[in-house]
Amino acid sequence: MTQPSTDLAIVGAGPVGATLALSLADSDASIVVLDARAKGEALRGERTLALSHGARLIFERLGVWHELAATDGAVTPISDIDISQAGGFGMTRLSAAEQDLPALGYVVSYRALQAALDTGVARAGISVRHGVSATSVGGTATYAAVTCDAGADLVTARLAAVADGSGAAVGNVDRKRHAYGQVALVAKVWRAEPHGGLAYERFTPEGPVALLPEGDHYGLVWTAAPDRAEALLALDEVAFLAELERHFGTRTAGFTRVADRRRFPLALEFAPAAVGTRCVMLGNAAQALHPVAGQGFNLGLRDAAELAAIVQDTPREAIGEPPMLRRYERQRRGDRYAGIAFTHGLVAAFGNDVPLLRWPRGLALTLLDAFPPAKRAFTRAMLFGLR
Ligand SMILES: Cc1cc2nc3c(=O)[nH]c(=O)nc-3n(C[C@H](O)[C@H](O)[C@H](O)COP(=O)(O)OP(=O)(O)OC[C@H]3O[C@@H](n4cnc5c(N)ncnc54)[C@H](O)[C@@H]3O)c2cc1C
């Protein structure tokens, strides 16, 4: 093999892979995009994503935001976030108005975002090979080789960008996994009062619990030990809502209905170096975080935006060469590691029941609330990432 068949092979056109493809629509690089899902489907129909204001700016640039925001019920702005801890003093409220922004973030339907991105990708003339699953991503020093199932042809490329949500197809890259020994119980809950764009994040001895405004209801993410989550799932509606109300203490009340209770195990998974031979991993394939601060998807989007900028800035023959891979790794390292450490640190500092920690935690929240520059810095880190 002398010449790879394309410049870039994108494995996975989920929200992150499709963002990469769309960001490269005007570049000179030739692109092949594969996705295991069927055309018109979304991998995770039921999921919502927490988007920061920075993520909105990326989608505005790509011409996707307008269509998404016009889709009925697809986008719910978060105007304020009430942060507190159970059994200790201290709270703070982050506010979009204080930051002079239209919203702190957005709760977005995964399905609607995928549909808007698919439309954008098609409009840009980029074709996606749907129903094609990569079984392995390997290669040599001169090209990446993507092997596919169902008799699909081998794809060779100068660079394989893997955004398959897990990195499962990439064999030669080191990955770390830390299981938190907890599960997230997710559900839709309704309250008598309209949410008015107010989100809640509460740190409790069982772990963090969040309520995110979503259409006419709240999306609940309740972290708990597996047996506790099992017991909560088995409760009838009235008993479950009473437990939820007790869990939120004085912060919020008046829950009237719950639906779609599900759970999933919580773990931190990441590739310390998000690059391998002729290969880059991005989005959840590079790092899958605890959902506590809603950072994961936003980090993945920044992976896509920065990789696109580097590809555009690299001469064609040098795409996928070690200097380009080193540049990507160097450029993304600070943001990725800060996002991983910030999320993991929040879980470690706030997600346990060490009474001695309650006082410093309360003090931290009180100071954050009373000291505008610290609050502004914290809010901006949540909105645009840490570096
Ligand atoms: C259980 C769970 C719950 C979560 N809940 C939330 C939440 O409530 N809020 C939030 O903001 N974030 C949440 N996240 C994180 C969020 O789902 C991710 O940040 C986001 O989906 C990452 O997008 P992605 O494009 O990297 O991967 P994905 O969304 O996983 O997309 C991967 C794409 O690759 C395709 N694909 C997969 N394997 C292959 C293959 N072998 N060959 C070709 N194509 C392939 C898939 O069809 C899909 O289109 C959650 C994550 C998990 C694991």
Q: How far apart (Å, rounded) are the C-alpha atoms in residues 231 and 328?
A: 45
DSSP secondary structure string, 308-337?
HHHHHTS-GGGTTSHHHHHHHHHHHHHHHH
Q: Helices (H) and strands (E) in the chain — how many of each? A: 11, 19
**Digit-coded pLDDT (tens) for 120-129:** 999 999 989 9
**pLDDT for the residue 253:** 74
Binding pocket residue ranges, ligand 1, CB within 6 Å: 11-17, 34-37, 43-44, 47-50, 133-134, 163-165, 169, 264, 283-284, 288, 291, 294, 296-297, 300
Q: Please compute Rg for the chain using Cα positions.
A: 21
**pLDDT for the residue 370:** 56
Q: Average pLDDT for residues 50-71, to the nearest whole number?
A: 92
Is the whole-model pTM more than 0.95? no
Q: How far apart (Å, rounded) are the C-alpha atoms in residues 130 and 128?
A: 6
Q: Average pLDDT for residues 339-352, to the nearest whole number?
A: 72
Reported as a pLDDT band with limits 50, 70 and 90, residue 174 is confident
Sign of the C-alpha dihedral computed for residues 243, 244, 250 and 253 taken in this order: negative
Q: Over 90: is that where the pLDDT of 381 sits?
A: no
Q: How far apart (Å, rounded) are the C-alpha atoms in residues 97 and 331?
A: 32
**What residues does 177 pair with on adjacent strands?**
269
Burial of 62 (0-12, 13-18, 19+ CB in 10 A): buried
Q: How far apart (Å, rounded) are the C-alpha atoms in residues 25 and 21?
A: 6
Q: How far apart (Å, rounded) are the C-alpha atoms in residues 105 and 55?
A: 9
Tell me which of 284, 289, 298, 301 to substitute to probe ligand 1's pocket, judged by most ligand atoms within 8 Å of the beta carbon.
Answer: 284
**pLDDT for the residue 76:** 96
Q: How far apart (Å, rounded) are the C-alpha atoms in residues 278 and 322?
A: 8
